[in-house]
Structure 1
């Protein structure tokens, strides 16, 4: 009996270790989808709608309010004033050591030639520094796309979407050890609307730079789908210790491949959420979890 109990205990510990592996796709996949669903609901208006239209309408309203790309109008003004930008740029260099924090902002103000107290003029404090990272990394994609795709006809839109999404993920490398802290700040209720807005802008930028010219309802679906895929991959990357983030690249490719296997970009955000939930349940079952 003692030998059998010892063997059983060893087996249980092995199973428990498998369930808590760093690359727990099921946990990342489902938690991120739940976070996004809650976040989209918080950032949208709370009008009473039929249950079948509720989630799709909220997402559509959120995305519809963002600016669209145009070649016929001048670009909008910069997101930061001169003093604010100089402080944030200097503070950003201190993020690896101090994180997205007031300490980093104070160091940045000093480096930029201002008094330490000057950091208090940054709206939202630490979140302002996070927002600086999100905006500058998104804006950098335009230049990188020209380097990645010198031939305007090659590769196709899908390949460009994958390449640009990966390029944006790589923009987190220098602050990756601090990114889970940033995600925690972005998940605070007061910052969720702005975080979702930036995520929508990123998805739109990637599709635009990839050459997508669709003007039908799929415009919204593609951006909502890519937002979910990007967020899931970004969270996965914070736990990735593989060389050159090989596991994250595979994770991203699988998620994009799953969308295609459903039949192109799915017809609605509700369909996609349902599909990803089903996939997450199947992954949990494959790990021996009763669902």
Structure 2
């Protein structure tokens, strides 16, 4: 994939070795210790590749999921899909490329107070990847609102999926569709306001203020964390 920044190979090797232990022991120190032993990576090199131990490996697993999702999206034929279906398909693919129990363990890790901000950032990177892959070119306040809205959708869908026992996760699919429909209703409401002269006049001042909000200077640059360009990976 052009412009892709490749992940650290040593960290990926540690991650591969850690996954079998995560299911049983979570993303804790014991898992990292086992990963070092199983991978054959020296302790010194392991500390360079993942200075925070399992926390760095958990973040690497999330980023790996984003990469796999982007590969699947690049290969998918979505030409006949409505845009809302493309968004839903992207979120669904993101769930399919990861192990549910590993994700469950990751949710527990990133729900810890000192790691919650990083968990939020990882979700933001995922939805930014989705919007960018689907061709979003917004550079104003919509850059933020699209990602903030989809972040809420993605987080709620993941939580639902983790507790879904339905065959083929059909209940998760239905839940995802409902949440995407809610988002589309918001977009329709915004369009209605823009098209209605009276409402447009009422919101003239706040809209003028919001028009001054711009996307980050690094948006769609692969060398700036939290942003992507043409599906390129975020810096590792």
**Same topology, TM > 0.5:** yes
Number of matched residues? 189
TM-score, length of structure 2 as denominator length: 0.70
Moved over 6 A (4+): none
Who is 1:5 aligned against?
none
Change in Cα spacing, 1:198 to 1:79, as seen in structure 2 (3 Å) is farther
Give the CA deviation at 1:130: 1.4
Give the CA deviation at 1:216: 3.5
SS for the counterpart of 1:93 is helix
CA–CA distance in 1 between the matches of 2:95 and 2:14? 24
* Larger of the two Rg values belongs to structure: 1
RMSD of aligned C-alpha atoms?
Answer: 2.6
CA–CA distance in 1 between the matches of 2:31 and 2:21? 5
Structure 2 unaligned blocks of 5 or more = 192-236
Q: After superposition, what is the alpha-carbon deviation per residue over 1:30-80, rounded to whole angstroms, capped at 9, x for unaligned?
A: xxxxxxxxxxxxxxxxxxxxxxxxxxxxxxxxxxxxxxxxx8xx44x4453
Structure 1 unaligned blocks of 5 or more = 1-70, 268-291
CA–CA distance in 2 between the matches of 1:117 and 1:195? 27
Who is 1:126 aligned against?
54
Q: After superposition, what is the alpha-carbon deviation per residue over 1:257-286, rounded to whole angstroms, capped at 9, x for unaligned?
A: 11222343869xxxxxxxxxxxxxxxxxxx
CA–CA distance in 2 between the matches of 1:198 and 1:266? 28
Who is 1:250 aligned against?
174
SS for the counterpart of 1:214 is coil
Verify: 1:155 aligned to 2:155, yes or no: no
CA–CA distance in 2 between the matches of 1:245 and 1:266? 32
Contact 1:91/1:107, CA 8 A, preserved across alignment: yes
Q: After superposition, what is the alpha-carbon deviation per residue over 1:106-159, rounded to whole angstroms, capped at 9, x for unaligned?
A: 23222221357875552322222210111000011221012222x6x4323322
